[in-house]
Structure 1
Amino acid sequence: MKTEHNPHIDELLVKSMLDEASFAEQIEIKQWLLDDDDNQQYFEHFELIWAESKRFARVSTVDENAAWERFKARTRTSEPEHDIIPLHVRPVFRILRMVAMVLLTAGVGWLSYLVSTRNAAPEMLTVSSGAQPLTDTLPDGSIVTLNRKSSITYPHDFKGNTRPVKLTGEAFFDVQPDKSKPFLISVKDVTVKVVGTSFNVKDNAKKTEVIVETGVVEVSSAGEKVRITPREEATVIKESAQIEKRTTADEFHNYYRTRRLFCDGTPLWRLVEILNEAYDADIVIGNARLWEEPINTTFDQNSLDSILGVISETLSLKVEHHHGQIILK
């Protein structure tokens, strides 16, 4: 067999035998098998060795530690002997010799490998939205929509008793129900726990805000917990770490998913706040009397200039542009 020893391939084959090879590693093994007929023969021998070693290991009563100590003692006291090496080793003897080598190292080698792989941190994936919102499907089928300049980190597979993710920025979650495996979102010092529901999480320098659309959500911070239901929101103020619970005043948290702004008696200051976020603008109200003026209309995928035009006509105000800043007065 012409195939040269390749430690990397051996490691992949071991992971495959243990059913722990990732999808990418399985593809690499398949490609390696297709590259050369000798690789297929090597794989068959490897598979045979693996099967034989497992069978022998079940009946073996050898004390590996004691055998190792006896081996070291012999190497310290005995003179080296001159072995006669046959020119042609029969395949069956070569395979049996390899089986014996596997058995000899099983007590240390395989155990160390299994312990290291079991304790290794799971492979983590990070998805970032950049300049535009982005939708991603998680390993359990849950769907997350990231707002601009946001990111989410989660394991390649949800193998434990929970489904942990880490959020930076803002995202809307539509979580697949699974009562046996709660969905946990970490946002700095705030934890959001759900089973199957839809909700929005927004984090900035001053606060973390959670708004529920369906189901029940538990928000916890600094030992305090609250449960919120549809059209309720929980806000964690960073300075005090206290959780404030109240009824949701509007539906502006949906703007980055629907590009729709529904105003029902919305004060101008609140609309300006959302416009600055949605369009990355710098809009200020230059006249105090306009601060609480109500807006009653719906903006559906409108441009910023179009929205400002409607505001100007509705409230009879002027829109001025000054060095990148937009002033309403």
Structure 2
Amino acid sequence: MDTDFNDMMDDLLVKCMLGEATDSEQKQVDNWLKKKQENQRYFSHFKLIWSKSRELASQSTVSEQDAWERFKIRTQGESGVIPLKRNIWSTWVRVAAVMLLTAGAAWLVYLFTIQSVSPDLVTVKSDSQTLTDTLPDGSVVTLNKRSSISYPENFTNEKSRQVTLNGEAFFDVQPDKTKPFVISVNDVTVTVVGTSFNIKSNSKETEVIVETGLVEVAKDKQKITIKPMEKITVPAGNVDLIKEKNEDEFYKYYRTGKFICRDIPLSELVSKLNEVYHSNIVIEGEKLRNMKINTTFEEAPLSKTLHIIGETFNISVDQKGDAIVLK
């Protein structure tokens, strides 16, 4: 991208941060984010820096947008300025301009000091869509909706490949026996050398399902190794690691676009449909909730999926207010 386009995108990103972007501008940013992962990483850095800057300037009454504009005018045509490459440092200069004009130059020096002594950290977040990211070692991670992962910009000087997960993701890890791949999620640690597996975490529990290779799951002083067709569930606030066989493929839905139901309760399918479609489907009666379903749904409009469920179980599907009732 040329310099003018870089500046334009930075200005649009700031407008998004301020909540001042028009629908057209927001769409332009969304399209830019979809083009390549580099843009998503840049935006993650941008949001992090913007957040830190706003925290430091929280007591200021000066408009961030006005400060930015005055900063750009002030720096135009100045001599003796060494041009910076377009990377995290140029972002710091632009975003921290707010700090320069609100909290003073001392704060800017403080911000740069923090950045220079801390390892560069990349944070990638998925919002309403799944997202696939390639890590510095070539490992590939697929984030489910509303999930995030943080990791160093490179693993070169590290003894292990440390990442932090929030939400749900599928990992396909590049083998490296000299540098184990370590995932921190909630209060659980997952360690692998080279394998593929799924991790799901929420306020109730953390679940790890292995597809290939071996995975070590640890909490406090407990460690358990699981292999393909096995899973571990770690309830929140519980020290126990619960190891079980796993023949379920339902968890793959966000990667494959298919709901593969292998003798699962209808309540489990409905729970996932509510999550995916942001719906409010309610099942009347415990017997119906526990009825098993054995089929595969392609990702389709919710109405079509509900019609198939209704025909399969010979039940009615009724709209009542904001709820869809199965009975």
What TM-score do the two structures reach when normalised by structure 2? 0.64
SS at the partner of 1:180? coil
- 1:305 deviates by 1.2
Which runs of 5 or more structure 2 residues have no equivalent in the other structure?
1-78, 91-112
Matching residue's letter, 1:150? S
User: Highest CA radius of gyration, 1 or 2?
Assistant: 1
Map residues 22-61 of structure 1 onto 2, 5 A cutoff: 24=87
Say whether the 8 Å CA contact 1:192–1:217 is kept in structure 2.
yes
Tell me the distance in 2 between the aligned counterparts of 1:23 and 1:182.
Answer: 32
- Give the match for residue 190 of structure 2: 192
In the alignment, structure 1 residue 211 sits paired with structure 2 residue 209: yes
Between the aligned partners of 2:130 and 2:80, the Cα distance in structure 1 is: 48
CA drift at 1:301: 2.1
Contact 2:168 2:200 in 1 (8 A): yes
- 1:264 & 1:237 partners in 2: Cα distance? 24
Alignment of 1:87-102 (within 5 A): none
1:138 maps to what in 2? 135
Whether the aligned pair in 1 keeps the contact of 2:250 and 2:262 (CA below 8 Å) is: no
Residue in 1 aligned with 2:117?
120
Residues 1:121 and 1:183: Cα distance change in structure 2 (over 3 Å) = same
**Which of the numbers 173, 176, 187 marks the counterpart of 2:174?**
176
* Match of residue 315, structure 2, among 311, 314, 317: 317
Does the CA contact (< 8 Å) of 2:249 and 2:262 recur in 1? Answer: no
Unaligned runs of 5+ in 1: 13-21, 28-115
Q: 1:163 to 1:271 in 2, by over 3 A?
A: same
2: CA distance between counterparts of 1:303 and 1:231? 31
- Answer whether contact 2:207 2:233 (CA < 8 A) is retained: yes
SS at match of 1:240: coil
- Does the 8 Å contact 2:172/2:197 carry over to 1? yes
Q: Is the 8 A contact 2:207 2:234 kept in 1?
A: yes
Q: Paired residue for 2:230? A: 232
Aligned to 2:94: none
Aligned-pair CA distance for 1:192: 0.6
Residues 25 and 125 of structure 1, relative CA distance in 2, 3 Å threshold: closer
Letter in 2 for 1:142: S
Contact 2:201 2:207 (8 Å CA) reproduced = yes
**How far apart, in 1, do the equivalents of 2:163 and 2:232 lie?**
19
Distance 1:243 1:277 in 2: 26
Residue matched to 1:246: 244
What is the aligned counterpart of 1:221 among 216, 219, 222? 219
Q: Secondary structure of the equivalent of 1:193?
A: strand
- For 1:26 and 1:271, the matched residues in 2 are separated by 47
Preserved contact between residue 252 and residue 274 of structure 1 (Cα < 8 Å): no
- Note if contact 2:317-2:326 (Cα within 8 Å) is conserved in structure 1: yes
Whole-Å Cα distance in 1 between the matches of residues 201 and 264 of structure 2? 23
Give the SS at the match of 1:291.
helix
CA distance in 1 between counterparts of 2:292 and 2:88 reads: 59
Aligned 8 A contact 1:145 1:172 in 2:
yes
Q: What is the one-letter code of the residue matched to 1:238? A: A
% of aligned pairs identical? 49
Say which of 290, 293, 296 aligns to 1:295: 293
Question: In 1, distance between residues paired with 2:303 and 2:246?
Answer: 28
Structure 1 position 26, deviation (Å)? 11
